[in-house]
Amino acid sequence: MILWFTGISGVGKTLIAKNIYKILSKRKKNLIHVDGDVFRKMLGNDLGYTLKDRNKNAERIINFVSFLEKQGVDVIVSANLTSRKYRLYCKKKFSKFLEVNISSNFDILKKRDKKKIYSSKNLSNVVGYGIKNFKSNTASLKLINNGSKRDFLKNCYKLIKIFKQK
């Protein structure tokens, strides 16, 4: 099973993925969490944030997840798939695939902006600003994260139930 969280920076992809992993990994030993930011660093941060580089990173993550899936590993991914092409490709490639798209109000994202992405003077490579916001109409499930962290994490149990059924 591949559970893939998509959405622009700051919406809570990693937050919810880490929480679901923490809960499921106690019972499920063949489970891995792949975070897009950590994955980039593992490969030497050799890519920037242009759409071309983001697409290259998506290809890398998809190939790695495919490698893991072929070995019977379930994967939780928290990484944006900026291009619709890659989201559709994942739906075809992985037999058990669930895309969960997370969105949030931009004013809320700006307040949460831990990485200082939205306060930068150069927003040309920021998804939703310089890079067109590719809203996901391919997602199996959509979550909105405009409230508190606690309220948002209540979605974990709903997702775990879906994950177990796949």
User: What is the residue range of 29's domain?
Assistant: 2-165
Q: What is the per-residue pLDDT across 102-125, written as a single tens digit (0 to 9) for each?
A: 988 888 888 887 777 767 766 666
Report the number of distinct structural domains present in the chain: 1
Residues 132, 115, 7: CA angle, nearest 5 degrees: 40
Q: What is the pLDDT along the chain (166 residues), one digit of tens a residue?
A: 999 999 888 899 999 999 999 999 998 889 999 999 999 999 998 998 888 998 999 999 999 999 999 999 999 999 988 788 898 899 999 989 999 999 888 888 888 877 777 677 666 666 666 666 656 677 788 888 998 888 888 888 778 877 776 6
CATH of the domain at 51: 3.40.50.300
Q: What is the rounded CA–CA span in Å between residue 34 and residue 51?
A: 20
Measured between its terminal Cα atoms, the distance across the chain in Å is 7
**Global model pTM greater than 0.85:** yes
Could you tell me which of 19, 52, 46 has the C-alpha nearest to residue 33?
Answer: 19
Distance CA 67, CA 35 (A): 16
Residue 67, SS3?
helix
User: Tokens standing for 80?
Assistant: 């944006």
Please list the helix, strand and coil fractions of the chain in percent, rounded to the nearest 5, in that order. 45, 15, 40
